[in-house]
Amino acid sequence: MKKTLHYLLLSAIALLCVFPFWWTLVTALSTEGNVFAFPPTFWPKAPSLANFAEVFRVIPLWDFFRNSVVIAACTVLWKLIFCSMAAYPLARMHFKGRKLVFGLILATLVLPSEVNFLVNFITVTKLSLVDTYTGVILPNVVTAVAILLLKQAFEEVPQDLIDAARVDGASEWTIFTRIMLPLIAPWLATVGILTAVESWNEYIWPSIVMSKPDEFPLSVGVLYLRGTFGSSTRVVAAGTIMTIVPTLVAFLFAQRFFMRGMDGAVK
Amino acid sequence: MSRTTLTAWLFLAPALVLLAVFSFWPVGFGSYLAFTDYSLIRPTHWVGLDNFRYLFANEMFVTGLVNSVLFLLMVPCVQVGALALAVLVNNQLPGIRLFRAAFYVPVVTTVSVVGIMWGFMFHEQGTLNYVLLLFRLVDAPVGWLSHDGIALFAIMFVTMWRGLGWYMVMYLAALQAVPADMQEAAILDGANRWQRFWKITVPMLRPTIAICTILSVLAALKAYQEVDVLTQGGPMNSTFTALYYAYDQGLKHLKLPRALAASFVVSLLCIGVALCCLRWLKPKHR
């Protein structure tokens, strides 16, 4: 009885979380009937993929998709390189200024980063990076959270391994690339997946930097769809579904990474 | 400089350069520009508090500021909700992982998509009104996004909907770190579920509660994305938030000093409120 109540409660909340997705999917798959009808339809009428095909026909969805992939891939790659490089000495070296650097990195957690966009827009303009992937990617490459997570990972590597390598005459760079990075691969994966989804979903900054529609990533392009086809709700719904699918698939396959990423961020 | 120090700084250099350019510079330079008449074409002059005087005499900004503070109403809702949800999913019932995933799905969805989907839900003839009419909770369809007294709360609801799963995972992680033997000892002592929750779980979760509350306070004060995708500040400017005003002025009307002054005010507000939260939530020394 108690269990039933438990499930009932969970199901009600789950319904609230998932229902908008379901309704959008039903709308995208249906080809008949009024979109907004009383009572609403909760199952597709005359289901077909026509609305999806329509999205491809009227907007450069593949371009948006490619832009998102390039931006996400570059952000992940550079973030893993630069943040792991920064995390390594913070975790394993004793050097002058360590506390200061660490403090500065922590400070960026507290500073309200959203207010940076305005000046960053000036900076990106002055660097002539407007309308470039680089302009979208650069400000997101280094984040305090990534550095902290990777620092924690490096701290768990046994000191013996490093000492042994030093005795064998390995340079710091060799130790870093040959020993440390392979050992923290699961954490690199965590940071990589979190970053990929974050970057895929980022909306405000790319919409500031990119001005030409064919350069938009999906997150921005999908709104462009609404602007162009205000009347065709089904096409908008179809475009919406296609935008979410990659993140949902990534999420379902990498669920444990999401949970672990959060776990690490809190500690 | 010793060899190690040099190596360490070389490793750190790329990250520090990017942080300096895109995190520290904007804070410093932005704060300075808020007191000037900066524009891309004229030389810059120091104008003191002029921008701030303009803002506080400006109805739109004041509405925005009030709305940003109103957004704080969602903090207790989302925190209590997330903690309750975490407790609900923190057990080994069959299928529980599926529920956790369902609650987390809104978190990994782009805000633009969220905006479109909730635009559908909030439509006058949308599902939400249908359900409410079905159960006779309202007499006529509600204009969730078109009524100037309601739209802001609709946006707050969407923000909560998106945030709930995120905080749930934070609390879930903390709950799983609570040692089981403490609970078992309390059970032996005859403590009931409710007592165990308040006397053991909540004190153990205190640091997490503090962090989550502060993060959610900051998020509330900085709300703008949902506004942008749902109402663009309308109807009748009723859903402007302070930061949305800043972007609107800075990026659409290119009034950068005014925009930076607005975001300066938001930053001060964030820092002030965060400090207060820290004091309240710090564990008391006994």
pLDDT value of residue A267: 43
pLDDT value of residue B143: 87
Section B173-196 average pLDDT: 84
Give the Cβ contact number of residue B49 at 10 Å: 12
Question: By CA distance, what is A116's nearest residue in B?
Answer: B26
B-interface mutation test, from A243, A262, A267, most B Cβ less than 10 A away: A262
Residue bearing tokens 């799905």 = B105
ipTM of the complex: 0.88
Residue A209: name the closest of A129, A106, A93 by CA. Answer: A129
pLDDT value of residue A131: 93
pLDDT value of residue A260: 66
pLDDT value of residue A226: 76
Section B15-39 average pLDDT: 92
Please enumerate in sequence order all residues whose Cβ is within 8 A of that of B228, keeping only pairs 6 or more positions apart, or say none.
A204, B111, B115, B244, B247
* A13 touches B: beta carbon within 8 Å: yes
**Residues in chain A closer than 8 A to B140 (CB atoms):** none
Positive or negative: CA dihedral A236, A238, A244, A248: positive
Residue bearing tokens 């810059």 = B44
Low-confidence ranges of chain A (pLDDT < 70): 38, 112, 228-231, 260-267
> Whole-angstrom Cα distance, residue A149 to residue A139?
19
Closest in A94, A120, A266 to B26, CB measured: A120
Confidence of residue B286 (pLDDT cuts 50, 70, 90): very low
Confidence of residue B186 (pLDDT cuts 50, 70, 90): confident
pLDDT value of residue B54: 93
- Counting residues of chain B whose pLDDT is more than 90, the rounded percentage is 46
Section B129-157 average pLDDT: 89
pLDDT value of residue B40: 73
Residue B189: name the closest of B199, B179, B202 by CA. Answer: B199
Helices within chain A (DSSP H only)? 2-29, 50-58, 61-92, 98-110, 117-126, 133-141, 144-155, 159-167, 172-174, 181-183, 185-201, 204-209, 218-228, 233-253, 255-266
What's the DSSP call for residue B145?
A: T
Closest in A203, A237, A250 to B225, CB measured: A203
A-interface mutation test, from B93, B112, B123, B269, most A Cβ less than 10 A away: B112
Section B61-85 average pLDDT: 94
> Whole-angstrom Cα distance, residue B263 to residue B249?
11
Distance from CA of A172 to the nearest CA of B (A): 8
> Whole-angstrom Cα distance, residue B286 to residue B282?
12
Collapse the DSSP code of B46 into the 3-class scheme (helix H, G, I; strand E, B; otherwise coil) and give the result. strand
Q: What is the pLDDT of residues B227-244, one digit of tens each?
A: 999 998 878 888 999 999
pLDDT value of residue B283: 62
Positive or negative: CA dihedral B77, B81, B82, B84: positive
Contact assignment for B260 to A17 by CB distance below 8 Å: no
> Whole-angstrom Cα distance, residue A156 to residue A136?
33
Section B25-47 average pLDDT: 88
pLDDT value of residue B210: 86
A163-174 exposure pattern, b = at least 16 Cβ within 10 A, e = fewer: eebeeeebebee
Please enumerate in sequence order all residues whose Cβ is within 8 A of that of B24, keeping only pairs 6 or more positions apart, or say none.
A104, A108
Whether this model's pTM surpasses 0.80: yes
Section B264-269 average pLDDT: 91
A-interface mutation test, from B18, B89, B206, most A Cβ less than 10 A away: B18
Distance from CA of B52 to the nearest CA of A (A): 16
Contact assignment for A223 to B229 by CB distance below 8 Å: yes
Q: A residues 91-120 near B, CB within 8 Å?
A: 93-98, 101, 104-105, 108, 110-120
Please enumerate in sequence order all residues whose Cβ is within 8 A of that of B65, keeping only pairs 6 or more positions apart, or say none.
B242, B265
**Residues in chain B closer than 8 A to A233 (CB atoms):** 120
Closest in B24, B116, B271 to A222, CB measured: B116
Q: What is the pLDDT of residues B1-14, one digit of tens each?
A: 688 899 999 999 99
Calculated CA dihedral for residues B160, B162, B167, B170, nearest 10 degrees = 180
pLDDT value of residue A262: 57
Residue bearing tokens 């650069």 = A138
* A223 touches B: beta carbon within 8 Å: yes
Closest in B93, B222, B250 to A114, CB measured: B222
Contact assignment for A115 to B30 by CB distance below 8 Å: yes
